């Protein structure tokens, strides 16, 4: 007799054992379909775990070894066929499990928490259970615990009662003897929000006729019926608000058969409360040429990639709006990604003004309920346009016609957690599957993207002038060596201070950029040179003046700032500067001027990006100091001065992207000035004003920077000429970690000498310590493989990682792989 079998990806499966597992579909779940999550038993102990159905097949004969699905968690699929294909593709591309990919694609509100509960089996009394437990001390202890409560006891409560002893063997033994029964419940993080609706159950004339005779003695009943006779249906809370009626009045009318109460799902919205509709988008000649070319590619209905390369303030957003308008007219949907949460409120207001309620927003700062409801609006087709940060690339849009990656060069599009995907690659994959157009927009495109554009892999469209025909900001370099020689140890140079004073007199606003939070980079003893370090990481502690503590930005360790050197008792001196130090310096220089600081320490749930930026705009706060969250995408008409406090900060790191990052950040933040009718200017503070990257950024000369950089990349065989595969080994013992890393190198070199890899070009570097070798008491060593990013080599690396993870000698050691990491 034919039976139904589901192929399921399990949350409990590690990368080493990840594969589709076969489970029998019981008769009561015969309608099960792919994309639905289920609870299944897994492993020798039949531990309950969550899984997602990838496919359903029919088999002619029943395999007695197969286990059955226990329960279904979803009424309808949470992933479409495209979503399942994307998860399988991500597994092969970024060395993660299928369920890791699924978890990244779904909003947190859809996650389930599974809870195991043990109780005495039906028909088993306590005495019989104790007899079955025999002399086993731990089995008897379990029986005593479970029999106290008829409904049973949660697994966590049993573990707590056992202390350091593992109750697992006793529980499995009692389950096998039939003494205990195991029940698993699933609770979802966020529920659906509903509201009660009220409407007349009979014709309005009849309802009014019944309540009119008692109008004076029951005025509220009459008021409710009269209101409903005029408007038809309304929310119960609104009817109560407008009439003054209480819930008792509503229940009385329902009992009398005059009204009907129903429930309707409502969505928790995350967008602006009210936005005035905008007029049609007007493009200048250069923008229109770019739009026409891009729109022709989108109309073709075949997958394509284009780079929209435009200077800061050139009006790329207006081009995006026109492309989205045309996409919607064709009956398709559009997705726009931005690199920072801080950019979503401004863009959301613009998009809402043009597309109204069809716009949804997705990012990690939304409340769980808001994000879940926005996801549902997208899934049900109520939202056709989506704005969001990196994870919004998985928005469940049907008929996808356009994907826009704004500021495509930003490293924040690359996830540092499993799965370590890059949103640009996922967007390209989705565009390919849907026959959509992917537009990569930037004033400073990544070297890889510009290389592909100049090679002809992508179409290139250029916006060379600002939208309002204003000139780019005038840029001045302040040599900090000269400032030190003149006795200025402040983080602000004399030219920047003078420019700030002039701006304050004119009532114009300024933005100061420094990509380091805290007050000082580190603290050092002037006598012995000792620098306070984190006890759990190989990193110096950063001083935070707001709480007078030294903090580690890697593991979160915090300790009070000592009065003197703990080693020799000498005086402590601050070295370097962070945003807090700059803020304090500004308040000393301009005591009557309000200064706003925006970094990871000031952005909280109550003080969101949106609120801080709205205050800066509306209250015209004179000076804003911030990290890279103020460097890009922001558009403030009254900002005419930008100061880059330490342009060299990230330039001389041991990272092939250091020059690119520095050029991009400086260019982007300089572009925040002079975006309105007033001329803008920028001052870049640097110790190396002759550096090619600094001078190119000061001239806003991307083409010169690119020519220099692509030459270096080719000589060093860095992306785009090859890819970096990085295998990271971390463990509590440094010796073991290094040995495992060396073993991986030797194994890989052996494999590369055999078929089918013989002759494959691969350079193996390492083992080498990570830039920060120890983080949170775990040592990290790396192998770096320079090779072409093709399926054959990815399969080799994946096999190496699986073998290493499955090797018992590597217990306690974590082994992961990544492609082209940002750090």
Looking at residues 461-488, what average pLDDT do you find? 88
Q: Which residues pair with 198 in a beta bridge?
A: 234, 261
Bigger pLDDT: 293 vs 365: 293
Neighbouring CB atoms inside 10 A of 806's CB total 12
pLDDT of residue 244: 81
> Among residues of the chain, what percentage have pLDDT more than 90?
53
By the 10 Å C-beta count (0-12 exposed, 13-18 middle, 19+ buried), 43 is classed as: exposed
Q: Strand 437-442 and strand 400-406: pairing?
A: parallel
Q: Can you tell me the mean pLDDT for 82-91?
A: 96
Report the C-alpha gap between 100 and 108 in whole angstroms: 13
Query: Which tokens belong to 646?
Result: 């330490």
Residue 212 has pLDDT above 90, yes or no: no
d(CA 647, CA 797): 38
pLDDT of residue 268: 60
3-state secondary structure of 788: coil
Cβ neighbours, 10 Å, residue 546: 13
Over 70: is that where the pLDDT of 265 sits? no
**Average of pLDDT values for 688-700?**
93
Q: Give the residue carrying structure tokens 């573990």.
A: 159
Indicate whether 266 pLDDT > 70.
no
- The DSSP secondary structure of 317-360, one letter per residue, reads HHHHHHHHHHHHHTT-EEEEE-S-GGGHHHHHHHHHHHHGGGEE
For residue range 163-182, list pLDDT tens digits in order.
888 888 888 889 888 889 88
> Which domains does the chain show, CATH number per domain?
3-111 (3.40.1440.60), 115-180 (no CATH), 194-265 (no CATH), 285-298+312-447 (3.40.50.300), 474-516+579-714 (3.40.50.300), 520-576 (no CATH), 723-819 (3.30.70.600)
Q: What is the pLDDT of residue 1?
A: 63
* Residue 218 zone, left/alpha/beta (φ > 0; ψ -120 to 50; rest): beta
Look up tokens 């590690």; give the residue. 14
Long-range contacts of residues 611-618, Cβ cutoff 8 Å, at least 24 apart: 613/342, 613/345, 613/346, 614/345, 616/509
Between the CA of residue 539 and those of 182, 526, 556, 609, what are the distances in Å?
47, 19, 12, 29
Contact 283, 318 (CB under 8 A): yes
Give the separation between CA 602 and CA 626, rounded to whole angstroms: 10
Q: Which two tokens stand for residue 538?
A: 């190989």
Per-residue confidence (pLDDT) for residue 319, from 0 to 100: 97
Identify whether the C-beta of residue 389 lies closer than 8 Å to the C-beta of residue 412.
Answer: yes
CA distance 387 to 360: 6
What's the mean pLDDT when you consider all of the chain?
89
Give 782-823 pLDDT, tens digit per residue.
999 999 999 999 999 999 999 999 999 999 999 999 999 987
Helix (H, G, I), strand (E, B) or coil at 212: helix
CA dihedral 647, 653, 655, 658 (to 10 degrees): 10
Instruction: Indicate the pTM of the whole model.
Output: 0.83
Residue with the two structure tokens 């819930």: 247
Residues 13-58 have pLDDT tens digits of 999 999 999 999 999 999 999 999 999 999 887 888 999 999 999 8
């Amino acid at each position: 007799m034919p039976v139904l079998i589901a192929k399921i990806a399990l949350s409990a499966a590690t990368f080493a054992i990840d594969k589709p597992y076969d489970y029998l579909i019981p008769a009561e779940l015969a309608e099960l379909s792919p994309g639905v999550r289920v609870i299944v038993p897994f492993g020798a102990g039949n531990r309950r775990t969550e899984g997602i159905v990838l496919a359903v097949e029919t088999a002619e004969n029943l395999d007695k070894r197969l286990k059955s699905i226990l329960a279904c968690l979803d009424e309808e699929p949470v992933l479409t066929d495209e979503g399942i294909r994307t998860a399988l593709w991500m597994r092969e591309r970024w060395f993660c499990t299928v369920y890791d990919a699924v978890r990244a694609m779904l909003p947190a509100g859809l996650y389930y928490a599974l809870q195991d509960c043990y109780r005495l089996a039906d028909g088993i009394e306590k005495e019989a259970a104790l007899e079955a437990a025999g002399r086993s001390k731990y089995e008897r202890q379990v029986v005593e615990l479970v029999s106290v409560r008829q409904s049973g006891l949660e697994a966590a409560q049993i573990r707590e009662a056992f202390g350091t002893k593992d109750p697992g063997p006793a529980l499995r033994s009692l389950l096998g003897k039939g003494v205990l029964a195991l029940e698993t419940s699933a609770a979802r993080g966020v529920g659906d929000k509903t509201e009660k609706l009220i409407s007349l159950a009979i014709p309005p004339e009849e309802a009014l006729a019944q309540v009119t005779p008692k109008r004076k003695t029951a005025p509220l009943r009459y008021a409710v019926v009269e209101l409903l006779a005029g408007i038809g249906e309304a929310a119960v809370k609104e009817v109560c608000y407008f009439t003054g009626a209480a819930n008792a009045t509503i229940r009385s009318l329902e009992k009398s058969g005059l009204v009907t109460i129903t429930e309707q799902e409502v969505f928790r919205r995350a967008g602006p409360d009210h936005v005035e509709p905008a007029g049609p988008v007007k493009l200048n000649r250069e923008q229109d040429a770019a739009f026409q070319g891009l729109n022709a590619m989108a109309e073709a209905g075949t997958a394509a990639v284009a780079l929209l390369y435009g200077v800061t303030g050139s009006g790329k957003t207006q081009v995006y709006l026109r492309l989205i308008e045309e996409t919607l007219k064709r009956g398709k949907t559009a997705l726009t990604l931005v690199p920072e949460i801080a950019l979503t409120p401004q863009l959301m207001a613009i998009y809402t003004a043009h597309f109204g309620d069809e716009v949804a927003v997705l990012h990690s700062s939304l409340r769980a309920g808001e994000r879940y409801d926005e996801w549902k609006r997208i899934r049900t087709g109520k939202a056709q346009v989506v704005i969001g940060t990196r994870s919004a690339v998985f928005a469940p849009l049907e008929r996808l016609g356009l994907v826009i990656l704004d500021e495509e060069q930003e490293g924040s599009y690359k996830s540092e957690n499993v799965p370590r995907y890059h949103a640009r690659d996922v967007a390209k994959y989705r565009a390919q599957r849907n026959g959509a157009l992917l537009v990569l927009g930037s004033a400073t495109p990544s070297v890889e993207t510009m290389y592909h554009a100049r090679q002809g892999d992508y179409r290139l469209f250029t916006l060379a002038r600002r939208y309002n025909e204003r000139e780019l900001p005038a840029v001045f370099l302040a040599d900090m060596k000269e400032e030190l020689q003149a006795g200025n140890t402040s983080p602000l140079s004399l030219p920047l201070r003078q420019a700030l004073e002039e701006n304050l007199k004119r009532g114009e606003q300024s933005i100061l950029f420094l990509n380091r939070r805290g007050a000082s980079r580190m603290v050092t003893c002037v006598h012995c040179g000792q620098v306070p370090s984190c006890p759990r990481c190989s990193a110096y502690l950063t001083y935070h003046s707001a709480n007078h503590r030294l903090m580690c930005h890697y593991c979160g360790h915090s300790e009070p700032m000592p009065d003197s050197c703990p080693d020799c008792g000498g005086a402590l001196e601050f070295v370097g500067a962070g945003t807090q130090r700059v803020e304090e310096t500004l308040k000393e220089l301009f005591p009557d001027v309000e200064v706003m600081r925006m970094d990871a320490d000031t952005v909280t749930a109550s003080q969101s990006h949106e609120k801080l930026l709205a205050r800066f705009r509306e209250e015209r706060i004179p000076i804003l100091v911030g990290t890279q969250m103020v460097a890009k995408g922001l558009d403030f008409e009254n900002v005419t001065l930008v100061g880059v406090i330490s342009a060299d900060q990230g330039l001389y790191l041991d990272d092939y992207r250091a020059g690119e990052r520095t050029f991009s950040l400086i260019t982007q933040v300089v572009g925040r000035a002079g975006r309105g009718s007033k001329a803008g200017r920028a001052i870049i503070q640097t110790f190396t004003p002759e550096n090619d990257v600094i001078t190119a950024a000061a001239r806003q000369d991307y083409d010169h920077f690119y020519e220099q950089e692509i030459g270096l990349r080719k000589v060093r065989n860095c992306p785009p000429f090859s890819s970096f595969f990085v295998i990271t080994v971390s463990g509590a013992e440094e010796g073991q970690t290094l040995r495992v890393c060396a073993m991986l190198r030797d194994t890989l070199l052996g494999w590369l000498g055999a078929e089918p890899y013989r002759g494959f070009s691969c350079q193996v570097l390492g083992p080498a310590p990570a830039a920060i070798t120890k983080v949170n008491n775990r040592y990290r060593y790396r192998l770096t493989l320079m090779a072409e990013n093709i399926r054959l080599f990815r399969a080799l690396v994946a096999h190496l990682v699986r073998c290493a993870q499955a090797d018992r000698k590597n217990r306690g050691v974590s082994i992961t792989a990544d492609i082209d990491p940002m750090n």
